[in-house]
């Protein structure tokens, strides 16, 4: 672990930017139709529950990275295997986000540019930031957060003032009952984006005041849940469920629909800025966590030495993971939540917490007996 310190507020900002990242650009929870915003809020509540599991683990070992404490809890060899699997998981997710944004840039702006080149630019930026350290990323996050907040507030004002918002598109909220909404929440939104906060297990030890981690984490998940729910409600209100379902990037279509006073139109730059800010933070954080965990596990003296090679690994993987955009999306919706998110975000942390709880309880009783 590098010797760095970040404040609770910086942690809050990083979590919010990370959660919004790629989630705001895709049609999140659209399977729940008009209840998408509700599915996101339920997902956020579930995300808070998952975060409490991570926080409980963090409380046992507040100064250690998960790569260290997992070895204390479940033993050296199984701990190393679990840590290695998590490094793979974070690198894979990083590659998925790189691919998401590469495909987005190709689709909407750089039609003639090869995917490899766009991905390369994003990865190089992430590698550069990682070499500078987590403190620099946190401070950059503070600046970007202000830009993003301004973009969101002004975009919502423009959408409301533009008159394109049709509240009728948001009804009926539970046309097919609560079941599809809960199903969408528990099969998708709880894992993506809220469960991905597991990556912050590597960042939490850097926080200057560990007591504030719990409140900050819960507040950040709730805030990002509300922002994402508002975005999906705005998308559904402006475009209608059918169009959101068919659209690859509904937020872009929503922003493109803004036409105000005959001169405020074609505000695609709003979408591009917001997407690139979110994407940058998410890719960088996933890659940072992978680099820090790999340096810890393999005992590399200077973690920054791993930044570029692992960046290249992410770049290659982002090209390899799928042959086309539809295949990439299908894998992301059907396979990744089931085979990767569920075990790595819920099952493994819950099992490790259970073992940690039993061990600490045993030690407490031994102490009392002595």
Partner 1 sequence: MKVIGISFVLLLALMGVAAALDFFGGSPDLNASIRNIFNPFLVMETIEMVIFIFIVLCVFIPPVRQFFQKRNKSKQ
Q: Which residues bind partner 1 (CB under 8 A)?
A: 84, 87-88, 91-92, 95, 114, 116-117, 120, 294, 298, 300, 305-306, 308-310, 312-313, 315-317, 319-323, 327, 330-331, 334-336, 339
Q: Of 9 and 339, which CB lies nearer to partner 1 in the complex structure?
A: 339
In this structure, which long-range contacts are made by residues 104-112, counting pairs with CB atoms below 8 Å and at least 24 apart in sequence? 104/25, 104/248, 104/249, 104/275, 107/248, 107/249, 107/325, 108/249, 108/252, 108/268, 108/271, 108/272, 109/272
Q: Of 173 and 322, which CB lies nearer to partner 1 in the complex structure?
A: 322
CA-nearest of 261, 184, 243, 179 to 28 is: 184
How near is the Cβ of 132 to partner 1 at its closest, in Å?
A: 17
CB contact at 8 A, 331 and 322:
yes
CB contact at 8 A, 6 and 210:
no
Q: Of 68 and 212, which CB lies nearer to partner 1 in the complex structure?
A: 68
Q: Which helix (H) or strand (E) holds 328?
A: helix 325-330
How near is the Cβ of 77 to partner 1 at its closest, in Å?
A: 17
Q: Of 84 and 226, which CB lies nearer to partner 1 in the complex structure?
A: 84
CA-nearest of 240, 191, 248 to 27 is: 248
Residue 131: CB atoms within 10 Å: 16
CA-nearest of 201, 209, 142 to 7 is: 209
Q: Of 14 and 120, which CB lies nearer to partner 1 in the complex structure?
A: 120
How near is the Cβ of 74 to partner 1 at its closest, in Å?
A: 20
Q: Of 326 and 364, which CB lies nearer to partner 1 in the complex structure?
A: 326
How near is the Cβ of 331 to partner 1 at its closest, in Å?
A: 6
How near is the Cβ of 68 to partner 1 at its closest, in Å?
A: 18
Q: CB burial class (10 A; 0-12, 13-18, 19+) of residue 362?
A: exposed
CB contact at 8 A, 126 and 287:
yes
Q: 201: which 2 tokens?
A: 């297990």
How near is the Cβ of 364 to partner 1 at its closest, in Å?
A: 38
Q: Of 265 and 331, which CB lies nearer to partner 1 in the complex structure?
A: 331
- Alpha-carbon distance of 65 to 218, in angstroms, equals 20
What value does the CA radius of gyration of the chain take, rounded to a whole number of Å?
Answer: 21
Q: How far is CA 2 from CA 6, 47, 66, in A?
A: 12, 28, 14
Q: Of 259 and 331, which CB lies nearer to partner 1 in the complex structure?
A: 331
How near is the Cβ of 212 to partner 1 at its closest, in Å?
A: 34
How near is the Cβ of 301 to partner 1 at its closest, in Å?
A: 10
Q: Of 85 and 146, which CB lies nearer to partner 1 in the complex structure?
A: 85
CB contact at 8 A, 220 and 19:
yes
How near is the Cβ of 316 to partner 1 at its closest, in Å?
A: 7
């Amino acid at each position: 672990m590098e010797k760095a310190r970040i404040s609770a507020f910086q942690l809050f900002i990083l979590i919010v930017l990370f959660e919004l990242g790629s989630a705001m650009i895709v049609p999140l929870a659209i399977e729940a139709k008009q209840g998408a915003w509700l599915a996101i809020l339920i997902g956020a509540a579930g995300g808070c529950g998952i975060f409490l599991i991570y926080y409980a683990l963090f409380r046992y070992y507040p100064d250690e990275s998960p790569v260290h404490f997992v070895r204390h809890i479940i033993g050296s060899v199984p701990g190393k295997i679990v840590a290695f699997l998590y490094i793979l998981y974070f690198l894979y997710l990083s590659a998925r986000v790189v691919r998401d944004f590469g495909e987005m840039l190709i689709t909407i702006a750089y039609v003639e540019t090869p995917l490899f080149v766009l991905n390369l630019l994003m990865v190089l930026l992430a590698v550069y930031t990682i070499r500078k350290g987590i403190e620099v990323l946190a401070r950059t996050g503070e600046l970007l957060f202000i830009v993003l907040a301004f973009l969101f507030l002004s975009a919502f004002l423009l959408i409301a003032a533009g008159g394109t918002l049709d509240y009728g598109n948001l009804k009926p909220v539970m046309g097919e009952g609560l079941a599809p909404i809960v199903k969408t929440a528990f099969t998708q939104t709880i894992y993506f984006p809220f469960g991905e906060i597991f990556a912050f297990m590597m960042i939490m030890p850097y926080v200057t005041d560990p007591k504030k981690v719990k409140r900050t984490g819960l507040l950040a998940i709730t805030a990002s849940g509300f922002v994402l729910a508002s975005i999906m409600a705005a998308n559904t209100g402006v475009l209608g469920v059918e169009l959101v379902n068919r659209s690859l990037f509904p937020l872009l279509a929503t922003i493109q629909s803004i036409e105000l006073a005959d001169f405020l139109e074609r505000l695609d730059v709003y979408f591009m800025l917001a997407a690139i800010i979110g994407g940058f933070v998410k890719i960088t954080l996933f890659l940072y966590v992978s680099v820090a965990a790999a340096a810890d596990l393999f005992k590399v003296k200077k973690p920054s030495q791993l930044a570029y090679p692992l960046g290249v690994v992410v770049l290659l993987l982002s090209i390899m993971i799928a042959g086309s955009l539809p295949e990439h999306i299908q894998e992301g919706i059907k396979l990744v939540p089931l085979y990767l998110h569920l075990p790595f975000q819920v099952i493994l942390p819950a099992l490790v917490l259970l073992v940690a709880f039993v061990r600490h309880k045993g030690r407490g009783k031994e102490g009392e007996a002595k």
